[in-house]
Structure 1
Amino acid sequence: MSVQHNSPYQRQHRPRQQFSDRKAYLEHELQAMAPRRWRPNLPLRDYRFEWEDLVPATAATIGKIVMVAAIVAAFAGPLGLSDAFVIENVRFEMLIAAVLFVILVSGFLNPVANLAGTHGPLIPLIPLIVAAGGHPMALGIMIGVLGFLLGITKGGSLLAKLTSNGVCGGLLLYLGFIGLQAQIKHLFSWANGFDMGYLAFVIILAVIILYAYLEHLQKRWLAIPLGAALAALLAWAFGAPFAFQTEPGIPNLNPAFWWGEETGWQLGLPNVQHFLAVAPFAVLAVAMWSPDFLGHRVFQQLNYPAKSERVLMNIDDTMCAAATRQVTGSLLGGGNIASSWGTYIIPAAIAKRPIPAGAVLTGLLCIVAALWGYPMDLAVWPPVLSVALMVGVFIPLLEAGMQMTREGKTTQSAAIVIFSSALVNPVFGWSLTVLLDNLGIIGCKERGKDLGHLGRWIVPGVVFVVLCAVMAAIGMFPGIPALLSAFRIEL
């Protein structure tokens, strides 16, 4: 047997010339792949690189810089750390993610584990974590341990199985709309900062027209690079302020520096009190993983062709990878909080590309950006940042949510999850609606009959009660004081 026929993928791969168009070729590639979980996967033997892989890689790199900077800055502000510290830690985090996990895990060892990205929904809670006496390393270790336990017990896939299309679709609609609205406000706030509010309107209108035209051409996977480039060119043409400030260099790679008492975070190593302070937040962070990971897998399902189930993201494997990355990054000195990498997997699904090839390119781009420095300035420039997130993440989420709520009684569940998410947050909305939906109170009454007692009310009920207890303890219910604060006062 010749070398070129020694793997299932090589036996099924066919040259591009044998297909009528590019789309048919890419869809066949998804069907031909046979990923090897937690075993070596090699280019050409198990997958190929295509130029479409540059799209999710570029989007992921932009998103990584932005999201990690937001996480680290949220910690640095209350701790009194400088902007220079934030940039240095972000560059360090990008090297950790790229070398140890993006390339090694998702690129070679497990092509169905999505890249370990950043936990954006937790950003608003970080000031509360610091105020409660939390420590970044303690938080990271607890999130990692809890997430790994959920992954190896297959708890993530169980929760995904118990979530109906109506609940998932409503969640995607809510997250897409809220995210889109936030980025529009952010762009107008930026433009108004130098008395050119009309510039934000011009940029958004131009991007809408571009996105609609790409939809017409069925090339919307090009929306991120073309949209970001268009936004940058318009902002530059109108004279918006911009300057490259981050110079090339290698960040400090010594964990002792980052966790010193007078260097890096200036906090030293965590103690027992630090772990107790972050425990409720760690539980909540891991609970947020399930709806987030589920949404990413569903988005793949909606964009991939039939018979491509083998390349779909494995929720439990992704949880294990994200948890391991979280513990490693925290021990080394990073401030990132890990989750499934949305700014990678969503553009990759639109471009009809599997995880591994784009993961390798993402890792390489992250290394270049971290060492070169200047690309980081461009990626966090508001017109580039906001447009990339709008066309690459939030508009596709809206489209996927609408597609999932078109049939049956899914609209009932979708409406309730949006309503309850608006009341508290997406974790509350998801857990409450899954319970109501599986009990048959809303949605399809027949669906709950096939789940058994465990799936109908035991697991959803326990999850809902535990999450409500955690949210009540840290004060996430509107108008209700944090129970932990009241308990401390009494003590």
Structure 2
Amino acid sequence: MDGGNPSSSYKDLHRPQSEFNSREEYLENELKIMSPKRWRPNLPFRDYRFEFEDLVPGLAATIGKIVMVAAVAGAFAVPLGLDSSFVIENARFEMLIAAVLFVLLINGFFNPTANLPGTHGPLIPLIPLIVAAGGHPMAFGIMVGVLGFILGVSKGGSLLAKLTSKGVCGGLLLYLGFIGITSQIKALYAWADGFGAGYVAFVIIFATIIMYAYLEHVRLRWLAIPVGSCLAAVIAFALGAPFEFVTEPGIPNLNPAYWWGEDTGWKLGLPDVSHFLAVAPFAILAVAMWSPDFLGHKVFQELNYPKGSDRVLMKIDDTMMVAGARQVVGTALGGGNLTSSWGTYMVPAAIAKRPIPAGAILTGVLCVVAALWGYPMDLAVWPPVLRVALLVGVFVPLLEAGMQMTREGKTSQSAAVVIFSSAMVNPAFGWSLTMLLDNLGLIGDKEEKKDLSHMHRWIIPGIVFVLLTGILAGIGQIPGIPAFF
């Protein structure tokens, strides 16, 4: 079904579902006729509509947000000697910041082609190292936000994405998907073994596989996160897994002075110059990892959206600007989140064939409800719910997308190298090295790079690789090389 003249308004081009042969046809037509306005008001029913399918990314994103923000806060809290009550309180505060100041206003109304600002999951393992190096959460958050905003304004994010071929991106998705799946399964077994019932984890994982395969068969895979989370919770309850609600309804402390006080909140006070110097290499690494992360989410849209829907695809540079601004504001107010593109929103939204704005508004509302209600925080961070949500909502879809992008022989060369080099050090190293080799023409599809200049093909990838490798060596992430930062 033709989307119509793109110069016409969405309201004029919209047609009821009854005029289409299937629900999928209707949803694909909606993607084709939308013309989102950049940094101008986009209003419901005039520029987009709410559909039942928007509830799925909304629920998935809310569950994912609670999980990821709590994980980041917890990673900071343990080496700083802060308790679990701090983690829940800070996570609730961060959800209000993200929902009210950014998701509802920016993604829902003023720039619906910027993906929601989520959480930088791959950085979580580095947080204890940041604290051990003398890093301060406020210094780190502000530096990441400023660097990310600069990269977005200068359009550096889209340039790095352009230099990352399908083979490199596909290999990166395969690696991250496989590593994520194995880590979540191990964590679920460790939780079950903790109360002497390892079989609970086996039953949950087995049921999740059957559930995911069935949803794939009936073309309802976009329901995987809410259905999978509910299934995991029901099975865990039925088999006697321990659980209790402890977080009561209420408003978290909204005073930045409390969070950055000497004896309250983080109990660290304000950072000084030495703290900014300590976090500098980590901040550069964090922002360098944004491009492949953002590109992977955009590619996931491209794989699931129909032809002719380019206008609703996320813009990488705008997403970086929003993420950078959200990082600075959230950190200054007292939050501990590390921002990136919101994967647990974009992946199910792309599968459900829905654009960003309507689901963003629902996500913002659900995040506010969860933060104020309190009890959903306990359920969402319960291991069976948390692990299954990440498995079916992020890591398995990443694996599938990576497989789709590496079907051809030439792209599989780059994919193999990026997996190899990522396993040797980490995904940032693997991405930068393989991007350089790919653009030099040593591996990969040369046709993808025929329109690039020498500056783009050789110099920029070379600078990125040398810079990232130097940072990784400086913070002790290159095996066998002691840290010198």
TM-score, normalized by the shorter chain, greater than 0.5: yes
Amino acid at match of 2:124: I
Q: Deviations over 1:84-120 (max 9, x none)?
A: 1111111110000000001111111100000000111
Q: Deviations over 1:338-358 (max 9, x none)?
A: 000000000100000000111
Partner of 1:396: 397
Partner of 1:263: 264
**Number of aligned positions between the proteins:** 479
Q: Contact 1:248 / 1:371 at 8 angstroms: preserved in 2?
A: yes
The Cα shift of 1:408 comes to 4.3
Amino acid at match of 1:257: Y
Partner of 2:203: 202
Q: Deviations over 1:59-83 (max 9, x none)?
A: 1111111111111111111111121
Partner of 2:336: 335
Matched, 1:309 2:289: no
Partner of 1:41: 42
Amino acid at match of 2:215: L
Matched, 1:80 2:81: yes
Matched, 1:429 2:430: yes
Partner of 1:90: 91
The Cα shift of 1:456 comes to 1.2
> d(CA) in 1 for partners of 2:302 and 2:250?
41
Give the share of equivalent positions with the same residue, in percent: 75
Partner of 1:147: 148
Matched, 1:235 2:236: yes
Q: Deviations over 1:322-370 (max 9, x none)?
A: 0000000011000111000000000100000000111000010100000
> d(CA) in 2 for partners of 1:66 and 1:11?
40
> d(CA) in 2 for partners of 1:215 and 1:399?
12
Q: Contact 1:119 / 1:338 at 8 angstroms: preserved in 2?
A: yes
State the SS of the aligned residue for 2:65. helix
Q: Deviations over 1:8-59 (max 9, x none)?
A: 1111111111111110111001101100011111100111011111111111
Matched, 1:170 2:171: yes
Q: Contact 1:244 / 1:378 at 8 angstroms: preserved in 2?
A: yes
Matched, 1:366 2:356: no
- Tell me: CA distance 1:7–1:100, structure 2 relative to 1, closer, same or farther (3 Å): farther
CA RMSD of aligned residues (A): 1.0
Partner of 1:23: 24
Partner of 1:193: 194
Note the 1:122-133 alignment, pairs <5 A: 122-133=123-134
> d(CA) in 1 for partners of 2:195 and 2:79?
27
> d(CA) in 2 for partners of 1:7 and 1:367?
35
TM-score, length-scaled by structure 2: 0.98
The Cα shift of 1:446 comes to 3.9
The Cα shift of 1:454 comes to 1.2
Note the 1:457-476 alignment, pairs <5 A: 457-476=458-477
State the SS of the aligned residue for 1:409. helix
Partner of 2:221: 220
Amino acid at match of 2:392: V
Q: Deviations over 1:416-463 (max 9, x none)?
A: 000001111111111100100111101123443321201210110011
Q: Deviations over 1:301-334 (max 9, x none)?
A: 0000000000001000000000000000011000
State the SS of the aligned residue for 1:483. coil
> d(CA) in 2 for partners of 1:374 and 1:341?
23
State the SS of the aligned residue for 1:325. helix
Partner of 2:3: none
Partner of 1:321: 322
Partner of 1:276: 277
> d(CA) in 2 for partners of 1:162 and 1:464?
13
The Cα shift of 1:407 comes to 2.1
> d(CA) in 2 for partners of 1:454 and 1:408?
27
Amino acid at match of 1:237: A
Partner of 1:106: 107
> d(CA) in 1 for partners of 2:131 and 2:166?
37
Matched, 1:453 2:454: yes
Q: Contact 1:7 / 1:46 at 8 angstroms: preserved in 2?
A: no
Matched, 1:295 2:296: yes
Q: Deviations over 1:367-403 (max 9, x none)?
A: 0000000001110111111111111111111111100
- Point out 4+ residue stretches in structure 1 off by more than 4 angstroms: none
> d(CA) in 1 for partners of 2:276 and 2:103?
28
> d(CA) in 2 for partners of 1:429 and 1:60?
28
The Cα shift of 1:7 comes to 6.4
Matched, 1:250 2:263: no
Q: Contact 1:438 / 1:447 at 8 angstroms: preserved in 2?
A: no
> d(CA) in 2 for partners of 1:87 and 1:160?
35
The Cα shift of 1:141 comes to 0.7
Q: Contact 1:7 / 1:45 at 8 angstroms: preserved in 2?
A: no
Note the 1:347-358 alignment, pairs <5 A: 347-358=348-359
- Tell me: CA distance 1:326–1:214, structure 2 relative to 1, closer, same or farther (3 Å): same
Partner of 2:137: 136
- Tell me: CA distance 1:446–1:28, structure 2 relative to 1, closer, same or farther (3 Å): closer
- Tell me: CA distance 1:226–1:412, structure 2 relative to 1, closer, same or farther (3 Å): same
State the SS of the aligned residue for 1:161. helix
> d(CA) in 2 for partners of 1:420 and 1:353?
35
Partner of 1:59: 60
TM-score, length-scaled by structure 1: 0.96
State the SS of the aligned residue for 1:37. coil
Runs of 5+ consecutive residues of structure 1 not aligned to the other structure = 1-5, 485-491
> d(CA) in 2 for partners of 1:483 and 1:43?
53
Q: Contact 1:439 / 1:448 at 8 angstroms: preserved in 2?
A: no
State the SS of the aligned residue for 2:337. coil
